[in-house]
Amino acid sequence: MINLEDHRDGVILPVKVPPKSQANELRGAQGGRLKVCVTAAAENGKANAAIIELICERLSLRKRQLTLIGGATMGLKRFLVTGITRAELQARLEEVLDGG
């Protein structure tokens, strides 16, 4: 289960990004975080941009709805998701992670 947090401007989505992934994919929950794998190098913001693009594509979000608010240079990140409720985000996550 992913530990989504309410925020005054939306919902906090905690993310875990392992280094040197072989594919771009959402791999489920790990330690209360969404595990996101990207092949982009962790340099000059390339990996963060790839993470944002992948999450937005898979969860049907606009890029402006997803903002990195913590962990820019770390494997544990926090994103603010706006324009969606916690329940809606949870439902989208469950659908995508359950193969829907």
CA distance 52 to 67: 8
Question: Is the full-model pTM beyond 0.75?
Answer: yes
Average pLDDT, the chain: 95
Q: Are 14 and 34 in contact (CB under 8 A)?
A: yes
> Greatest CA separation found in the chain?
36
DSSP class of residue 16 equals: E
Q: Are 84 and 11 in contact (CB under 8 A)?
A: yes
Q: What is the pLDDT of residues 46-91, one digit of tens each?
A: 999 999 999 999 999 999 999 999 999 999 999 999 999 999 999 9
CA distance 69 to 95: 25
Sequence-ordered list of residues with C-beta below 8 angstroms from that of 74, at least 6 positions apart, any chain: none
Question: Which domains, and CATH codes, for the chain?
Answer: 5-97 (3.30.1200.10)
| Band of pLDDT at residue 20, cut at 50, 70 and 90 | confident
| Band of pLDDT at residue 100, cut at 50, 70 and 90 | low
* pLDDT recorded at residue 67: 98
